[in-house]
Structure 1
Amino acid sequence: MTKSSRSLADEACPCGSGLPYARCCAPLHAGVPAAHAEALMRSRYSAYVLGRVDYLLASWDAATRPSAAELTLDPATRWLGLKIVRHEADGDEALVEFVARSRSGGASAQRLHEISRFVRREGRWFYVDGTFPQA
């Protein structure tokens, strides 16, 4: 079961920005376009935390978007934090490197280190894909 947006309104945003959810990722989840790729990345992380598959699909570029059946979230996964390593934009393309930490069930915490590609189409940013840097 996911938390409702109402119960989160005054809580700190899951993306780690330090802002309340209502002033950070909630507007993006409600359809407001992200100002830049980093904001979209943060809102996508929050969507994973909150189980918002609808938002993840809507913010994914149509050329690389999986089907709804292919994008399943494990309800046992607990997201522990997001760190933005860098954000580079060049016109309508951008890269965001991040590290997201999670734990599933009783397993040890895991790190997802990704360099994500984003594209802006008609004033909206979309996630394209990502690569995993060598350790």
Structure 2
Amino acid sequence: MAKRRASSSTCSCGSPAYQSCCQTLHDGKPAASPEALMRSRFSAYARGRTDYVYRTWHPETRPEHEADLADEPNLSWVRLEVLDTTGGGMFDAEGTVRFRAHYREGGKPGVMEELSRFVRHEGQWVYWGPLPL
């Protein structure tokens, strides 16, 4: 996913305030649930925070290097829709989030839909990877 420079006050995940939403996670606070992690990862992609995307990806499934998450200059992520969540509670070891990510590529709108698996790793939620829809 490529970066989109959002205003400093709104959050790309859909919240009205980046500072009290995804910024706290980007700055190191652990996500409380798979959905919170999904939202913060989308926001990180939209803001060009590949460091956060890499850090919150399970080491067994993430790209080898953070640089492998290079920006695509003609792609901007504009809106996230969370469609469904399962698991991810206080006593769960995993959870899923089904979402639609809206983007613009070369000025044309597009949509990506994914069912993502999240697991606990070293006590924190991390992205494992996509599951079949």
Q: What TM bracket, shorter-length normalisation? A: 0.7 to 0.9
After TM superposition, the structure 1 stretch with the greater mean CA deviation from structure 2, 30-39 or 73-82, is 73-82
Q: How does 1:98-113 map to 2 (within 5 A)?
A: 98-106=99-107, 108-113=108-113
With the length of structure 2 as denominator, give the TM-score of the two structures.
0.87
AA of the residue aligned to 2:27: A
Aligned to 1:40, which of 20, 37, 41? 37
1:69 aligned residue (67, 70, 75): 67
Q: CA deviation at 1:117?
A: 0.3
Cα drift, residue 85 of structure 1: 0.4
TM-score, reference length from structure 1: 0.86
Mind listing any 5+ residue stretches in structure 2 that lack a counterpart? none
Using CA pairs below 8 Å that are at least 6 residues apart, which structure has the higher relative contact order?
2
Stretch deviating more after TM superposition (113-122 or 23-32): 113-122
Q: Say if 1:113 and 1:132, in contact at 8 Å, map to a contact too.
A: no
User: Number of paired residues?
Assistant: 127
Shift of 1:2: 6.5
Cα gap change, 1:132 to 1:99, in 2 (>3 Å): farther
CA contact (8 A) 2:5 2:46 kept: no
Match of 2:121 in 1: 121
Alignment partner, residue 84 of structure 2: 86
Report deviation, 1:3. 4.5
1:74-132 CA-to-partner distances (Å, cap 9, x unmatched) read 122121210000111151100000000101123x2111100000001232100010135
Q: Does 1:13 align with 2:14?
A: no
CA distance in 2, matches of 1:75, 1:39: 26
* Shift in CA distance, 105/59, structure 1 to aligned 2, threshold 3 Å: same
